[in-house]
Amino acid sequence: MKTRLTVLTALITCISLFAGKIYSQQNYNLSVYYKYMIKYETGKFYYPLGFGSTISRKISDKLILSLGLEYSHLYEEDQMRITPGVYRTEEFLRESSFSLISGITFPLLKKKIIIKAGGDIVSSYFRNSFELYRYTIADDLLDMHNKYYNNALGIGIKLKTDLQYNLSESVNIFIQPGYTYYLLGETKKEKFFTASTGLIFIL
């Protein structure tokens, strides 16, 4: 039921964005961001790098609707880790995520510097793979090779703040810190801190 409600919300957002006349107040947002993820079970920090694009429409002076796509990827390898006297290992971790985001933003300050706050519904698909190669030190021949794949879906909410600066009448630069918490799916209870930076083109 909750999944259907999320899909319905996304469809309503799409209709709101594209129905009727396209006004000059419509904004196109292209961002490049780092996504910061904490894995408590391993005690390690992950820094996937990705990019995103959103299209937004100003409904009123106090409400902006947006819809967009984001992608991020992490590749990490740990080689030449020695198991005393017997083996050396190589580990490869790959993680990709694709996200559909739809949300609302409320302008708080509109001067040369613009401040906005809001939230998104985030629907994500994660693709993860881990490979372990183990070699014997004596002859450097492959002794073991394990593969692990895990695909996961998640639906969550993101709280965000936009800090924008007017470069010209048609271009703004922005920074957006955010926090995402997944409520449903295999990624339930996963938490992400994000930071986006990029340009907004006002057409």
Q: What HEC string does 70-127 produce? A: EEEEEEEEEEEEEECCCEEEEEEEEEEEEEEEEEEEEEEEECCEEEEEEEEEEEEEEE
Q: Nearest-CA neighbor of 28 among 17, 13, 42?
A: 17
Per the structure, how many domains does the chain have? 1
- Structural domain harbouring 116: 2-17+26-202
pLDDT value at residue 29: 62
Adjacent-strand bridge partners of 92 = 77, 131
Say what the pTM is.
Answer: 0.74
Give yes or no for residue 97 having a pLDDT over 80: yes
186-202 pLDDT, tens per residue? 888 888 888 888 888 87
- CATH number of the domain residue 141 falls in: 2.40.160.20
Kindly report the average pLDDT of the chain as a whole number: 79
pLDDT in tens, 15-64: 444 443 333 344 556 665 666 665 555 666 667 778 888 888 888 778 88
